[in-house]
Amino acid sequence: MNICIIGTGFVGVVAAAVYASLGHTVIGLDVDLAKIEKLRQGIVPFFEPQLKELLIEQQSLGKLSFTTEYKVAISNSEIVIIAVGTPSAPDGQADLKYVVASAESLAPFLKEKAIVIIKSTVPPGTLPKIEDVIRRKTQVKFFTASLPEFLKEGSAVHDTLNPDRIVIGATDPFVFATLEALHAPFEAHIVKVRPESAQMAKYAANAYLATRITFINQIADLCEKNGADIQDVIEAIGYDKRIGKHYWYPGFGYGGSCFPKDVKELAAYSRAINEEHNLLNKINELNEQRVAKLLDSYKDRIGGWQGKKVAVLGLSFKPNTDDMREAPSTRVIPYLLEHGAMVTGYDPKTVEVAPHFIPANEHLSFTEDLNAAVEGTDVIFSLIEWPEITTYDFSSARNKDKTQWFIDARNQFSPARVSEWGFEYIGIGR
């Protein structure tokens, strides 16, 4: 099939490369010329395992190309997938301006019977609005569908090739049949539902995972007050099959480009439809307050942050990505600077992007050299569990002339091991 993906950001590039690898002819379209030129040269403007190799391979096979021209991209495409950004608008709801703009631009070139799919995360009720936008600019018969994206950054290519499920939101049998055939090679569960259900499923999945993280953080806080260890509690509750041992991450709260945004958008959407009294506002509030709450609570223990030399390790929002959108580091580092600390930020992949999120200054520097980052520090702050960090022997950073603290923000280290290295251990809920 001929497929056009509109928006070659994170989701769009992964989708384009993966559909091409299934044998389709895919064209990626973006309004950002610099991005398109990079992609044409096989340069992925962010770090994601396996993606660059797949992109180069599919371009060299002639299955994948990139353009900035709507006419070129749309005229020949049976399937048009909108994967542009949906940032939060000032009222907190998803801002659909990029989705609307792409619908307006694609409409004049739409092929008869093309299927326009929204992959961007959008609230229920979006499809009819986009259909209206397109109908104003074309006479051709076209179809629409919602195909929410569930990949995880850091394992996006793997997730897209091996999805837990594909959710197709549509009403027309032709659309279901075409999209089912398109995704058959994945051998995944295909959930065929109304568009509104597909859109709610995307928000519900992210809101649930964010709630799970916030919940275990609350339990961790209680453990700190009563001598329980959150890791023991997780093991104990995890044997209950209704609960499970997976996906418990007590820590500094959730981040990334999706959870914070999607929780806020779902909360705002709820307000807009008069369902204001709900859990989502509280989840968002607790998550936003979490970094300051924890860092305040360490102040007495370490004798204040003023003048402390702190190595913050792991700046991306999780391992295997260089994405720092709403990463815990973007709250932790400004807090530390504000409270008088001197910070070195270490990350294996974000050294170039980090200054765009947190401008370096005389009290803040970034490095890719872990040895240099931890040298002479008062506090080592293991924020994200990159393997480079969790397998490092921190005994080399020990200075016997002073007390040093080790903040294990994701409970990745054994407290006994950290004590053996000579540091005062501070974990989460232990």
Contact (Cβ atoms closer than 8 angstroms) between residue 9 and residue 143: no
Cα distance between residue 265 and residue 87, in whole Å: 9
154 belongs to the binding site for ligand NAD (CB under 6 A): no
Residues 20-49 that bind ligand NAD (CB under 6 A): 29-32, 35
Closest CB to ligand NAD among residues 258, 383: 258
Distance set, CA 238 to CA 233, 241, 244, 245, 247 (Å): 8, 7, 4, 4, 10
- The distance of closest approach from Cβ of residue 340 to ligand NAD in the complex, given in angstroms and rounded to an integer, is 35
List 19, 98, 405, 413, residue binding ligand NAD (CB under 6 A): 98
Closest CB to ligand NAD among residues 30, 385: 30
Cα distance between residue 261 and residue 265, in whole Å: 6
- The distance of closest approach from Cβ of residue 105 to ligand NAD in the complex, given in angstroms and rounded to an integer, is 6
- The distance of closest approach from Cβ of residue 410 to ligand NAD in the complex, given in angstroms and rounded to an integer, is 19
85 belongs to the binding site for ligand NAD (CB under 6 A): yes
Q: How far is CA 127 from the centre of its chain?
A: 24
Closest CB to ligand NAD among residues 137, 339: 137
Strand order in the sheet with 379-382: 364-367, 342-346, 309-313, 379-382, 405-408, 424-426
Residues 202-261 that bind ligand NAD (CB under 6 A): 257-258
353 belongs to the binding site for ligand NAD (CB under 6 A): no
223 catalytically annotated:
no
List 4, 5, 7, 55, residue binding ligand NAD (CB under 6 A): 7
Among candidate residues 67, 74, 81, the one with its CA nearest the CA of residue 14:
81
Cα distance between residue 411 and residue 368, in whole Å: 23
List 3, 4, 5, 8, residue binding ligand NAD (CB under 6 A): 8
Strand order in the sheet with 115-118: 64-67, 25-29, 2-6, 79-82, 115-118, 143-146, 165-169, 189-193
Contacting range for ligand NAD; rule: CB under 6 A; set: 95-103, 212-220, 222-230, 234-242: 95-103
Contact (Cβ atoms closer than 8 angstroms) between residue 113 and residue 105: no
Q: Is 198 exposed, middle or buried (0-12, 13-18, 19+ CB in 10 A)?
A: buried
Closest CB to ligand NAD among residues 104, 424: 104
List 65, 67, 86, 126, residue binding ligand NAD (CB under 6 A): 86
- The distance of closest approach from Cβ of residue 46 to ligand NAD in the complex, given in angstroms and rounded to an integer, is 8
Closest CB to ligand NAD among residues 101, 140: 101
Contacting range for ligand NAD; rule: CB under 6 A; set: 8-16, 128-136, 222-230, 403-411: 8-16
- The distance of closest approach from Cβ of residue 76 to ligand NAD in the complex, given in angstroms and rounded to an integer, is 17
Q: Write the interaction track for ligand NAD spanning residues 107-146; mark x where CB under 6 A is met and - where it is not.
A: -------------xx-------------------------
Task: DSSP for 231-292, please give it.
Answer: HHHHHHHHTSTTT-SSS---SS---TTTHHHHHHHHHHHHHHTT--SSHHHHHHHHHHHHHH
Which residue's CB atom is positioned nearest to ligand NAD? 9
Cα distance between residue 105 and residue 91, in whole Å: 26
- The distance of closest approach from Cβ of residue 82 to ligand NAD in the complex, given in angstroms and rounded to an integer, is 8
Among candidate residues 335, 322, 385, 333, the one with its CA nearest the CA of residue 359:
333
Residue 191 main-chain phi, psi, to 5 deg: -105, 115
320 belongs to the binding site for ligand NAD (CB under 6 A): no
Closest CB to ligand NAD among residues 76, 218: 76
List 130, 133, 134, 151, residue binding ligand NAD (CB under 6 A): 151
Cα distance between residue 7 and residue 31, in whole Å: 8
Contact (Cβ atoms closer than 8 angstroms) between residue 168 and residue 190: yes
149 belongs to the binding site for ligand NAD (CB under 6 A): yes
Considering the candidates 20, 170, 223, 258, report the single residue annotated as catalytic. 258
* Residues 6 or more apart in contact with residue 402 via CB below 8 angstroms: 378
Contacting range for ligand NAD; rule: CB under 6 A; set: 82-90, 109-117, 171-179, 224-232: 82-90
Q: Which chain residues interact with ligand NAD by CB under 6 A?
A: 6-12, 29-32, 35, 83-86, 98, 101-102, 105, 120-121, 149, 151, 153, 257-258
Catalytic positions, please?
Answer: 258
